[in-house]
């Protein structure tokens, strides 16, 4: 983490948060331009995390490890730098830094990637998280697509 935060671009736009209650996670995701989900080397082969689906469904750009991207039911539809950003192996700090730098260097492009990811999830209704009242209120007020 220290190596990533040493970058001026990253340190100016990165925060570390304490535990967030699960029922507050969708509202938190909705406030973010991008979410990095970098789980890797998980010891249970059948583990299929749902965080990527939640991030994409809510409309934030997803930066995730190649391992996690490969575990998604919609993995064949994921396209690096089109509807998500593939960080590869997050143990490779240079590659991870490049992926995050790519995400942060052009906000309009990042919004396009997030929008394409959200559109992808509309084809997978089982992947859409429950309708959080905070998300609905933000959408009604035009803060979210």
The residue among 82 and 24 whose pLDDT is bigger is 82
Residue among 69, 56, 68 nearest 121 (CA): 56
Paired with 61 in beta bridges are 34
- Domain positions in the chain are 2-12+21-140
pTM, 2 dp: 0.77
Per-residue model confidence (pLDDT) at position 6: 73
- C-alpha distances (whole Å) from 85 to each of 26, 28, 38, 45, 138 are 20, 20, 11, 23, 25
Written as six digits, the tokens of 90 are 């997050």
pLDDT at res. 57: 93
- Distance between CA atoms of 90 and 40, rounded to whole angstroms? 7
Q: Residue 4 has which token pair? A: 């990533």
pLDDT at 132: 62
Residue 108 has pLDDT above 90, yes or no: yes
Secondary structure (3-state) at 41: coil
Q: What is the pLDDT confidence band of residue 5, given thresholds at 50, 70 and 90?
A: low
CA 33: distance to chain centroid? Answer: 9
Query: Can you tell me whether residue 131 is helix, strand or coil?
Result: coil
DSSP code of residue 37: E
- Average pLDDT along the chain: 86
The pLDDT confidence band at residue 11, using thresholds 50, 70 and 90, is: confident
């Amino acid at each position: 983490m220290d190596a990533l935060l040493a970058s001026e671009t990253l340190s100016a736009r990165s925060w570390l948060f304490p535990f967030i209650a699960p029922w507050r996670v969708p509202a938190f995701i909705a406030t973010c331009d991008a979410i990095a989900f970098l789980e890797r080397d998980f010891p249970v082969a059948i583990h299929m995390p749902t965080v990527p689906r939640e991030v994409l469904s809510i409309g934030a750009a997803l930066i995730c490890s190649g391992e996690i991207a490969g575990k998604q039911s919609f993995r064949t539809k994921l396209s690096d730098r089109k509807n998500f950003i593939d960080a590869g192996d997050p143990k490779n700090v240079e590659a991870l830094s490049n992926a995050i730098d790519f995400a942060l260097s052009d906000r309009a492009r990042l919004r396009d990637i997030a929008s394409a990811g959200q559109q992808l999830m509309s084809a997978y209704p089982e992947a859409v998280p429950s309708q959080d009242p905070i998300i609905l209120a933000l959408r009604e007020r035009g803060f979210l697509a």
